[in-house]
């Protein structure tokens, strides 16, 4: 896997390799579309260890609360604090400015449990 | 697939459809918060064709409905409407509704979609209970008509463009019956948003063309999501949440809509209710933190659970989460409480309802 390569989970999160074993994680456009207007994002603290597909936070929209799961396991090394005051970034820009957190992966082989962009596109087409 | 209103085919491609009491209705067209803002600052419209519309007609119709409904229909003028309840003998709220006095012999009822069959059943049962009501006509014309709510500060201007006559002069809870293209149209100054607004009831064909004209006038189409946020901000009760057949109007702080100077199905129980200490009371609260209160969250006071949330949302107009709920004691406005939101106790303050006044 090379830098800027992106993978997707069935729970509609994406993980993009930033470099040095660190992945940027966020939710997909499909996910934000389903949730509607996001008003609060709560993410676990920096330093928290996490398992692949484990819960790392909550996203609250006007309609409902959704759990945020991480597509990769490891340790949280950064969170997007911008979302605290500007949660609408998740709706407006889910794949860039609306990113959620960065994770230093512990087992790079777990990436094979994720979908490529094309596989994810096919996956949501059938939902 | 559920029932569809006549306007279903007029929704744009972005409408997100959900099931609402058996109807396929849009929860949003673009974004819930955006639609709320349109109604608060400009003008929005809602397809409310799913709401029950029942025409009651006959010589004894006023007496007939006065026994069942909590309003006093004799006091209404022609072309005046009033918010009231259909209560059972325990004063439990079967439904909240608006009664429109079209003439001394003709009353139109607009009620909730989910309760319409119950309302019609109560009316028909009462009709068969007394010979003098036998000839009354009870006509559920929901499926033969459409209903559009146009709400927001610019709604008077839109109504004038739509009907080319002055409608901003209609007073609150009054209505006009007019002819447009030879079709009868009822335009009432009513709504469920806390803004100035109108509801337009007419036949299927004209409803559809009115919706399209409103789109051309740049009125924002709004869904059930924003309708719920708007009504919570305006402190308006929703049947199924704040009011149910287990809640009476006194507990829901809605006694002002109950007239007791007449013989009625609820009088006996109502006299008991207003003469005994209440077991629960409706409050509004503003959350002082992060987290949206949701139905059934526990309300805590001094470490003790004293009630539950009935409705909650994020209020874009106030920029904070707000909620409605019942508590089992009288603690005043300004009191500090907590709401248990998924295990986290979030601070809140009891606040007057409505949260905003226009």
Looking at residue B235, which CATH number applies to its domain? Answer: 3.30.1360.120
Beta-carbon contacts of B52 under 8 Å, excluding residues fewer than 6 positions away, are B109, B110, B111, B112, B113, B115, B116, B119, B120, B140, B142
Query: Is B311 part of the contact surface with chain A (CB cutoff 8 Å)?
Result: no
Looking at chain B, which residue has its C-alpha nearest residue A38? B33
pTM, whole model, 2 decimals?
0.94
Query: Is A121 part of the contact surface with chain B (CB cutoff 8 Å)?
Result: no
Q: Do B210 and B66 share a domain, yes or no?
A: yes
Mean pLDDT of B48-66: 98
Q: Do B53 and B4 share a domain, yes or no?
A: yes
User: Does the pLDDT at position A42 exceed 80?
Assistant: yes
- Smallest Cβ–Cβ distance between B31 and the set A36, A40, A42 belongs to A36
Burial B211-232 (b: 16+ CB within 10 A, else e): beebeeeebbbbbbbbbbbbbb
Cβ contact, residue pair A60, B292, below 8 Å: yes
Q: What is the pLDDT of residue B247?
A: 96
User: Does the pLDDT at position A91 exceed 90?
Assistant: yes
Q: Kindly report the CATH number assigned to the domain that includes residue B313.
A: 2.40.30.110
- Mean pLDDT for chain B overall: 96
Q: What is the 3-state secondary structure (H, E, C) of B113-156?
A: HHHHHHHHHHHHHHHHHCHHHCCCEEEECHHHEEEEEEECCCHH
- Domain tally for chain B? 2
The Cα-based distances of B335 to B184, B190, B282, B283, B351 in angstroms read 51, 33, 14, 11, 8
Q: Do B288 and B268 share a domain, yes or no?
A: no
**B44 within some domain:** yes
Which residue range is the domain that position B165 belongs to? 1-276
Sequence-ordered strand ranges (E) for chain B: 16-20, 23-28, 44-47, 52-57, 80-87, 93-103, 106-111, 137-140, 145-151, 175-180, 183-188, 197-203, 220-222, 281-287, 298-301, 304-315, 320-327, 336-341, 344-351
Q: What is the pLDDT of residue B166?
A: 77
ipTM surpasses 0.90: no
Q: What is the pLDDT of residue A2?
A: 87
User: In chain B, what residues touch A39 (CB-CB under 8 Å)?
Assistant: 292, 314, 321
Q: Do B160 and B295 share a domain, yes or no?
A: no
User: In chain B, what residues touch A65 (CB-CB under 8 Å)?
Assistant: 292, 294, 342
Q: Do B227 and B196 share a domain, yes or no?
A: yes
Query: Is A49 part of the contact surface with chain B (CB cutoff 8 Å)?
Result: no
Cβ contact, residue pair A40, B27, below 8 Å: no
Boundary-marking domain end, from B276, B291, B311? B276
Q: What is the pLDDT of residue B256?
A: 97
- Contact predicate B189/B171, CB 8 Å: yes
Domain boundaries, chain A: 9-107
User: In chain A, what residues touch B229 (CB-CB under 8 Å)?
Assistant: 62
Q: What is the pLDDT of residue A1?
A: 82
Q: Which of B20, B36, B222, B225 to mutate to test the interface with A (most CBs of A within 10 A)?
A: B225
- Smallest Cβ–Cβ distance between B28 and the set A36, A39, A40 belongs to A36
pLDDT > 90 in chain B, percent = 93
The Cα-based distances of B61 to B84, B135, B266, B309, B341 in angstroms read 16, 10, 18, 39, 48
Beta-carbon contacts of B169 under 8 Å, excluding residues fewer than 6 positions away, are none
User: Does the pLDDT at position B168 exceed 80?
Assistant: no
Cβ-Cβ pairs closer than 8 A, A with B, add up to 33
Q: Do B283 and B249 share a domain, yes or no?
A: no
Q: Do B187 and B327 share a domain, yes or no?
A: no
Q: Do B244 and B291 share a domain, yes or no?
A: no
User: Does the pLDDT at position B52 exceed 80?
Assistant: yes
What interhelical angle do B32-41 and B224-233 show, nearest 10?
Answer: 50
Q: What is the pLDDT of residue B181?
A: 85
Q: Do B260 and B322 share a domain, yes or no?
A: no
Say which range, A49-63, B224-238, B263-277, has the weakest mean pLDDT. Answer: B263-277
Cβ contact, residue pair B32, A37, below 8 Å: yes
Question: What's the pLDDT tens digit per position in B66-120?
Answer: 999 999 999 999 999 999 999 999 999 999 999 999 999 999 999 999 999 999 9
User: Does the pLDDT at position B279 exceed 90?
Assistant: no
Mean pLDDT of A1-29: 95
Q: Do B202 and B338 share a domain, yes or no?
A: no
Confidence label for A62 from pLDDT (cuts 50, 70 and 90): very high
Query: Is B293 part of the contact surface with chain A (CB cutoff 8 Å)?
Result: no
Q: Do B272 and B318 share a domain, yes or no?
A: no
Q: What is the pLDDT of residue B1?
A: 82
Under CATH, which architecture does the A9-107 domain have? Answer: Beta Barrel (2.40)
Q: Cβ of B117: how many Cβ atoms within 10 Å?
A: 11
Boundary-marking domain end, from B256, B276, B296? B276
Q: Do B238 and B300 share a domain, yes or no?
A: no
pLDDT > 70 in chain B, percent = 100
Q: Is B60 helix (H, G, I), strand (E, B) or coil?
A: coil
User: Does the pLDDT at position A127 exceed 90?
Assistant: no
Q: Which token pair is B24?
A: 């396929």
User: In chain B, what residues touch A37 (CB-CB under 8 Å)?
Assistant: 31-34, 314
Boundary-marking domain end, from B247, B276, B305? B276
Exposed/middle/buried for residue A97 (C-beta within 10 Å: 0-12, 13-18, 19+): middle
Question: What's the pLDDT tens digit per position in B181-239?
Answer: 889 999 999 999 999 999 999 999 999 999 999 999 999 999 999 999 999 999 999 99
User: Does the pLDDT at position B258 exceed 90?
Assistant: yes
**B356 within some domain:** no
The Cα-based distances of B194 to A22, B100, B337 in angstroms read 50, 19, 26
Cβ contact, residue pair A63, B314, below 8 Å: no
């Amino acid at each position: 896997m090379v830098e800027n390569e992106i993978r997707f989970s069935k729970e509609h999160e994406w993980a993009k390799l930033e470099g040095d074993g660190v992945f940027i994680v966020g939710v997909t456009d499909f996910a934000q579309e389903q949730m509607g207007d996001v008003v609060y994002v709560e993410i676990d603290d920096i330093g928290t260890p996490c398992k692949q597909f484990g819960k790392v936070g909550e996203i609250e929209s006007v309609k409902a609360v959704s759990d945020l799961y991480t597509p990769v396991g490891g340790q949280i090394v950064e969170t997007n604090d911008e979302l605290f005051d500007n949660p609408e970034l998740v709706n407006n820009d889910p794949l860039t400015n609306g990113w959620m957190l960065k994770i230093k992966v512990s087992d790079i082989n777990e990436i094979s449990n994720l979908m490529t962009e094309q596989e994810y596109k096919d996956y949501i087409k059938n939902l | 697939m559920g029932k569809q209103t006549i306007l279903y085919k007029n929704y744009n491609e972005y409408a997100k459809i959900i099931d609402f009491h058996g109807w396929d209705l849009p929860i949003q067209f673009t974004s819930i918060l955006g639609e709320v803002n349109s109604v608060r600052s400009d003008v929005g419209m809602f397809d409310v064709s799913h709401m029950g519309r029942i025409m009651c007609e006959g010589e004894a119709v006023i007496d007939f409905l006065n026994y069942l409904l909590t309003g006093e229909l004799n006091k209404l003028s022609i072309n005046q409407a009033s918010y009231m309840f259909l209560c059972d003998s325990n004063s439990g709220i079967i439904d909240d509704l608006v009664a429109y006095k079209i003439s001394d012999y003709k009353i139109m009822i607009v009620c909730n979609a989910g309760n319409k069959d119950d309302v019609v059943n109560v009316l028909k049962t009462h009709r068969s209970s007394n010979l003098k009501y036998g000839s009354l006509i009870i006509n559920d014309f929901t499926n033969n008509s459409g209903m559009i709510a146009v709400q927001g500060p610019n709604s008077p201007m839109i109504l004038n463009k739509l009907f080319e006559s002055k409608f901003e002069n209609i007073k609150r809870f009054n209505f006009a019956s007019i002819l447009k293209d030879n079709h009868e149209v009822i335009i009432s100054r009513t709504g469920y948003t806390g803004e100035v607004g109108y509801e337009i009831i007419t036949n299927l064909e004209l409803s559809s063309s009115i919706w399209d004209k409103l789109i051309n006038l740049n009125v924002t189409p709004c869904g059930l999501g924003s309708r719920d946020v708007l009504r919570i901000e305006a402190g308006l009760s929703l049947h199924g949440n704040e009011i149910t057949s287990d809640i009476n109007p006194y507990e829901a702080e809605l006694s002002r809509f109950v007239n007791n100077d007449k013989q009625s199905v609820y009088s006996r129980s109502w006299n008991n209710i207003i003469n005994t200490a209440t077991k629960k009371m409706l409050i509004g609260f503003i959350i002082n933190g992060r987290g949206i209160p949701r139905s059934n969250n526990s309300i805590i006071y001094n470490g003790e659970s004293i009630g539950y949330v009935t409705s909650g949302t994020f209020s874009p107009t106030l920029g904070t989460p707000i909620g409605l709920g019942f508590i089992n004691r009288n603690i005043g406005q300004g009191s500090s409480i907590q709401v248990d939101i998924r295990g986290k106790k979030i601070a809140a303050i009891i606040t007057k309802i409505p949260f905003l006044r226009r």
